[in-house]
Amino acid sequence: MPERRLLALLLVAPALAVVLALFVYPLCYSLASAFTTRDGAPSFDNFAKAIELYTADIVFTLVITTVSTVLVAILSAAIGGYLVLGDHPFAVKLLKWLYRWPLFVPFIVAAQCMRTFLAKNGMLNNTLDTLGLVDLRNVSGLLDWRGIIVTFVWKETPFVALLVAGAMAALDRAGIEAARNLGARGLRILVEILVPQVAGVMIVGLVLAFVTMLSVLSVPIMISGGSPTMITVDMAFRVNSYSDYGTANALGFISYLIAGLGAWIYLRRNIAGAAQ
Amino acid sequence: MKRLGIVIATVAGLALGFPATAQNLSVVTAGDQNMVDYAKDYLGPLFEKDHPGVTVRAVGTGPGDAGSQKIYEKLEAEKNNASWDIDVAVIHQKAAGEMAAKGMLARYVPDVPTGKLVTSPAAKKALGADVDGYVIPMFNSQTVIAYNTDMVKDPPASYADLVAWADKHPKQFGYNGIKGGMSGVAFVVGWIYANAPDSERLINGPYDKSTEAAWNDAFAKLATFNKNVVLTPGNAGTLDMLSRGEIAMGPVWVDMFYTWQADGKIPPTIKLKLIGPGMPGQPMYYVVPAKAANAKLAADFIALATSPKVQADGIVKRFNWYPGIDAAAVKSQLDDATWQKLFVDVTPEDLASKGKPFPIAPYFNDILESYERKVQ
Amino acid sequence: MIAALGWLWRGAALGVLAFAIFGPLANLVLWAVALQWYYPHKLPLSFGLRYWREVFKPTSDAFVSLGTSIEIALITVLACLLLAVPAGYALGRRLLPGRAAILMLMLLPQAFPSVAVYINIARLFYRIGLNGTVAGVVLVHSVHGLVIAVWIAAAAFAAVDAELELAARNLGASAWRAALTVTLPLAAPGIMAAAIFVFLESLDEFTGTYFVGVPDITTLPLMMFTASIAGNYQIAAITALILLVPSIAFMLLIERFLNTETLAKIG
């Protein structure tokens, strides 16, 4: 019925309009700004400048997000796996309660926690020193790109682990029991049986986590003082100090490319899965 | 359902704002938190006492030139409006020069009684740009090297000594690069003054880009130096790491240092040294935007802020800044002990010989960009 | 013997995990009650509540920021619900072709790194005078809020049995009446969850507000950020704890509802 369709369209239109006006339009504006000079002539100058000044940061952004995502994948698979395969109900229950906490800590609060936790004389090093594992005088703080990785992993693992654990719990236990009967132990069951079956859900979560990491400004600003850092900090610096929207948007385009990498992996996986 | 309606109405009402019954004086200041505190906790109440019915609204835009840039951008975006919503702005020299050149500032100084009390060259020229009549300095500040006397027995006296020291004590010196605070920027400028030829030309002009080829060596040395140092998150970051023993030395603003020490945030074992051939300092300026909504009130506010009494009590005594107006006018308002507190580690002779201004604006921008290109 | 070893390994692993998760949070709490803390001391030298008094006095920045944050969050929730409930109904009830495409479009804000978008929104808002206003910040928060709200609302409406609405219409109710009095109340729990998510997301939002709100609008995350950068760790820690309260409260509340089926529908 056409009038029903029209009505449905009217119901959706306002929400669509907001997303179009407040996201798609600025996005197009950003792309346009990246490829033009201040006077409006098309050029690659902004990219030349961005690459000249910030190559190290671009590389590090890629490294930080990729390493973080891989670590999140490993940890969330391990947590999900233990929740499904663990034999001791008390340990499983404790883990279930424990791992969710960082999920509800906002990024900026996590950044503040880590700023003092990972400092040279922060709680982490102090504790390790008390345990005799390091010497406070020689140790260095983690307040650089490694601290950014730690914070991202801390914050994103519960999210992906939640998805993965849910997916694993929904799997048919028959396969697991069969493998157990054949003598396979925990790790092998996890890697060869569980993970392949939840790979789809896991990749969705990892791609979302990956894109989120590229969007965060608070964590790199608060944790890593100088170079190398993530290009989000450079974008903010360019705009705030020089009003240089061209270079900032060029860096933005580069971050879209990096995000696109993640999306491409997701699509490849989906197409491969559909083809099977 | 009805209660929800009332809640929504209340929230909507609050969102639309109270109608302005009192007169609001909008004071927007760049710089660290101490600048905002000064306007909000000290100047604001003082002014409101003399001007009943006026509320002073103080807002900060953040440290460094980035904060001043935000003020410039805001006014630039409003430039076609009938009146602007910033009455008093406190900005750095670079932004002041730009805004004066673009006609965005009111020429209020001749109409203000305290205008006669400022004779220093910094009140007439800002990084080479003419600002005579548009600005009154709020204060003068100076960067120095702060060092922990427990960890550094013999502090370096010059940039060259510092390089040698950092070589022997890696990761014990920290500064914030050029992002996040002007103390790091000042350190880099001082480095150029020490390591590149003709620093006089950098300070007084004329601007000639070809002279910058001589900087390559200096920046290469800085890149090597950076490998031995820690990069801190900002002005406060350097002070913070100093206080927690994570670094032994770093560039700081004298006023910020003394304020932190007075607050008990820095142990008394940390002292200051102004190293040679010199380190920059800068005033920050009171300006009135050209189309400020409350221009007369703004001028009155600045007159109060630059009066000898307020400069003595507020600027020197409470906040440990060097005064913006002429020292002679302020010194008479203070007892000797308070005045001398400013010069405990850094004597007036030090200031006279090693306190330098920042370079003229085009050289300043080029130094920053070269840093990004060659050192980062 | 082997069982004991197993427990040792298990205990150690869980202990390390507990330290990794609660250590940073405990550090935050310590800073919130510390008066003086510097090297080489591993714990604060003196404790006190002085900074709490500073944060909670009515004229303080923190109080104003808290008010601003809550105000913005509430308006954002309102705006998002007004937009998302109709859209969710249309999408959940599968009234439209191209439903998948529209849902994908709604997902765009989550798919692109948003810093560059915020920078440009700020620039556009400057021109139309929305920068530094509550309305501007609400709009920025709503973009991401809408993504959550529309998806959850669509899932909530889809979960309501269409039969019930048809039954109501058979009894003579108009389409509107059936939707409002039958479907909406049944979808309400899902919509409430969406509202809470949007509220929390707006309360904790930093990056967009950093570009669009400064300098006139200060939300609690911005205030926390400024305090942290200025080295004022006590105030930053206290503000962080204030920000944590609604989130943790919601987490404890939702423990019962956060089952995997709902999440699977969202994913």
Please check whether residue A27 lies inside any domain of the structure: no
**How many whole angstroms separate alpha carbon C159 and alpha carbon C92?**
8
Instruction: State the pLDDT at residue C266.
Output: 45
Neighbours of B287 (CB within 10 A): 29
* Tens digits of pLDDT across chain B (376 residues): 556 555 555 555 454 444 445 788 999 999 877 788 889 888 999 999 989 999 998 888 887 788 888 898 888 878 888 888 899 999 999 899 999 999 999 999 999 999 888 888 888 888 888 899 999 999 988 999 999 998 898 999 999 999 999 999 988 999 988 887 789 999 999 999 999 888 888 888 888 888 888 899 999 999 999 988 988 878 888 998 888 788 899 999 998 898 888 877 788 889 999 998 999 999 999 999 999 989 999 999 999 999 999 999 988 888 888 888 888 888 888 888 888 888 888 888 888 888 888 998 889 889 988 998 888 7
**How many whole angstroms separate alpha carbon B15 and alpha carbon C249?**
26
Instruction: State the pLDDT at residue B11.
Output: 55
CATH 3.40.190.10 domain span(s) along chain B: 2-140+283-341, 141-281+347-374
What distance in Å separates residue C222's CA from the closest CA in chain A? 9
* B308 contacts: CB under 8 Å, gap ≥ 6: B114, B117, B325, B329, B330, B332, B333
Please check whether residue C54 lies inside any domain of the structure: no
Domain that holds residue A220: 52-275
Query: Which CATH number characterizes residue C89's domain?
Result: 1.10.3720.10
pLDDT higher than threshold 70 for residue C263: no
What distance in Å separates residue C41's CA from the closest CA in chain B? 9
Q: How many domains does chain C divide into?
A: 2
Question: Measured between CB atoms, which of C36, C127, C230 is closest to B264?
Answer: C36
One domain for residues C29 and C116: no
**How would you classify the pairing of strands B229-231 and B173-175?**
parallel
**How many whole angstroms separate alpha carbon B84 and alpha carbon B79?**
8
Residues written for chain A: 276
Instruction: State the pLDDT at residue B10.
Output: 53
pLDDT higher than threshold 60 for residue C38: yes
**How many whole angstroms separate alpha carbon B74 and alpha carbon B263?**
34
Contact B177, B231 (CB under 8 A): yes
With CB atoms and an 8 Å threshold, state whether C214 touches B237. no
C21 touches chain A (CB under 8 A): yes
What distance in Å separates residue B177's CA from the closest CA in chain C? 15
One domain for residues C177 and C124: yes
Question: Measured between CB atoms, which of C38, C135, C215 is closest to B28?
Answer: C215
pLDDT higher than threshold 60 for residue C87: yes
- Nearest Cα neighbor of A215 from A258, A159, A245, A247 is A258
Question: Which residue of chain B has the CA closest to C234?
Answer: B265
Question: Considering the domain B141-281+347-374, what is its CATH architecture?
Answer: 3-Layer(aba) Sandwich (3.40)
Query: What CATH number labels B2-140+283-341?
Result: 3.40.190.10
Question: Measured between CB atoms, which of C215, C232, C233 is closest to B60?
Answer: C215
**How many whole angstroms separate alpha carbon B286 and alpha carbon B96?**
9
Query: Which backbone phi and psi does B245 adopt, to 5 degrees?
Result: 70, 15
* B181 contacts: CB under 8 Å, gap ≥ 6: B32, B63, B64, B234, B235, B236, B237, B238
Interfacial C residues in 144-163 facing A (CB < 8 Å): 146-147, 150
With CB atoms and an 8 Å threshold, state whether C75 touches B237. no
Contact B350, B274 (CB under 8 A): yes
One domain for residues C88 and C205: yes
Q: How many domains does chain A divide into?
A: 1
One domain for residues C27 and C129: no
Query: Which CATH number characterizes residue A81's domain?
Result: 1.10.3720.10
Instruction: State the pLDDT at residue B102.
Output: 92
Question: Which residue of chain A has the CA closest to C8?
Answer: A91
Question: Measured between CB atoms, which of C36, C226, C231 is closest to B237?
Answer: C231
Contact B262, B76 (CB under 8 A): no
How confident is the model over C103-121, as a mean pLDDT? 85
Q: Give which of B85, B265, B269 to mutate to test C binding, by max C Cβ within 10 Å.
A: B265
What SS3 class is residue A21?
Answer: helix
Please check whether residue A5 lies inside any domain of the structure: no
Instruction: State the pLDDT at residue B15.
Output: 46
- Name the pTM for this structure: 0.82
Residue C243 structure tokens: 């920000």
Please check whether residue A9 lies inside any domain of the structure: no
Measured CA distances, C256 to A92, B353, C12, C154, C262 (Å)? 17, 71, 29, 21, 12
* B334 contacts: CB under 8 Å, gap ≥ 6: B312, B316, B317
Please check whether residue A18 lies inside any domain of the structure: no
Instruction: State the pLDDT at residue A274.
Output: 56
- Nearest Cα neighbor of B189 from B223, B218, B226, B230 is B218
Domain that holds residue C248: 60-266
Neighbours of C104 (CB within 10 A): 11
List subunits contacting chain C, requiring 3 or more Cβ pairs under 8 Å.
A, B
- Could you give the angle at the alpha carbon of B155 between the alpha carbons of B153 and B161, nearest 5°? 130
Please check whether residue C86 lies inside any domain of the structure: yes
What distance in Å separates residue B364's CA from the closest CA in chain C? 25
* A44 contacts: CB under 8 Å, gap ≥ 6: A35
With CB atoms and an 8 Å threshold, state whether C232 touches B33. yes
Instruction: State the pLDDT at residue B2.
Output: 56
Residues of B in contact with A217 (CB under 8 A): none
Instruction: State the pLDDT at residue B260.
Output: 85
With CB atoms and an 8 Å threshold, state whether C150 touches A15. yes
Please check whether residue C181 lies inside any domain of the structure: yes
Structure-token match 């790979």, residue found: A199
Contact A190, A110 (CB under 8 A): no
Instruction: State the pLDDT at residue A1.
Output: 58
Instruction: State the pLDDT at residue B97.
Output: 92
List subunits contacting chain A, requiring 3 or more Cβ pairs under 8 Å.
B, C
Q: Quick one: pLDDT band at residue C265, thresholds 50, 70, 90?
A: very low
With CB atoms and an 8 Å threshold, state whether A123 touches C27. yes
Please check whether residue C32 lies inside any domain of the structure: yes
- The mean pLDDT values, 10 residues at a time, for chain A of 276 residues are 76 88 90 84 86 89 93 92 84 87 89 86 82 75 85 93 86 82 79 83 87 89 78 87 86 90 75 59
One domain for residues C157 and C214: yes
Please check whether residue A14 lies inside any domain of the structure: no
Instruction: State the pLDDT at residue B6.
Output: 53
Please check whether residue C110 lies inside any domain of the structure: yes
